[in-house]
Amino acid sequence: MDRMLYIAMSGAKQSMLAQQVNTQNLANANTSGFKADLASFVSAPVYGPGYASRVYGMAVSPGTDLSPGTLNTTGRDLDAGIVGDGWFAVQAPDGKEAYSRDGNLRIGTGGLLTNGAGRPMLGENGPIVIPAAQNISIGTDGTLSIVALGQPASTLAVLDRLKLVKPDKAELSKGEDGLMHLANGAKAPADATVTLSSGSLESSNVNPVDALINMITLARQFQFQMKTISAAEENDNQTTQMMRLG
């Protein structure tokens, strides 16, 4: 009886954990540059005194799906999508360097250039600050050029350059802040081969249809495990009644 309960209980718990990952992916189906988290189930024996006779299911995350999303044309001057491999360097909440594919750039308080998630964009000398300007353009190499207020269009001046990197994908991992990081807080060098498409945004690589189907599948698995727990309880009650009769 205990085996039946343990297997059902662990299965229900792990189904809920996998559902959390799937729900997070679905919630970010429209987030620019979002990379879906992966989840799978493995069987793990329970070790302890004696023979490992109990095996339970475990939901694990083997990593992140780093496949690119679709580049969609927006026509907005501050939108930039990475063509092929590469990442924008941004400042993480802890102040360290991290990486993102979100090119939905915005000018925040004090002229600080941020992405759609509010993370400061990094340039050649740290976070980029945009002065008051009547026009801002982003080159294919990440160069930021502006036309100052009151100046003719011919006075286009280079302000800074977005830091674009291309580290080995195997060295990247997603942190709790939703950004990609290198091991031990290392910094990737700027890579001149990374190119941008100005006026475009990369969509999330989450497939909403697959995520919805997976949500239904996980819900049914959880429901089955709960029915198994109820059946175990019913069997236990019937066994108790039979013992009383004896």
Indicate the pTM of the whole model.
Answer: 0.81
Residue 205 CA to residue 175 CA, distance in Å, equals 18
Is the domain of 99 the same as that of 61?
A: no
Poorest-pLDDT segment among 53-57, 99-103, 119-123: 53-57
Is the domain of 55 the same as that of 82?
A: no
| Residue 245 confidence (pLDDT) | 66
Residue 226 CA to residue 78 CA, distance in Å, equals 50
| Average pLDDT of the segment spanning 227-244 | 79
Is the domain of 87 the same as that of 154?
A: yes
Is the domain of 77 the same as that of 198?
A: yes
Is the domain of 92 the same as that of 132?
A: yes
Per the model's pLDDT, the better-predicted residue between 31 and 63 turns out to be: 31
Is the domain of 128 the same as that of 82?
A: yes
Tell me the per-residue pLDDT of 11-45, one tens digit each, with 9 for 90 and over.
888 888 889 999 999 999 999 999 999 887 777 77
Is the domain of 239 the same as that of 117?
A: no
Q: How far is CA 134 from the centre of its chain?
A: 34
User: Which residue has 């008051």 as its token pair?
Assistant: 132
Domain that includes residue 45, residue range: 2-65+206-245
Poorest-pLDDT segment among 49-63, 66-80, 123-137: 49-63
Q: Which amino acid is at 99?
A: Y
Residue 7 CA to residue 14 CA, distance in Å, equals 11
Would you mind telling me the total number of residues written for the chain in this entry?
Answer: 246
| Residue 39 confidence (pLDDT) | 81
Q: How many CB atoms lie within 10 A of CB 165?
A: 19
Total of domains in the chain? 2
Tell me the per-residue pLDDT of 125-149, one tens digit each, with 9 for 90 and over.
999 999 988 889 999 999 999 988 8
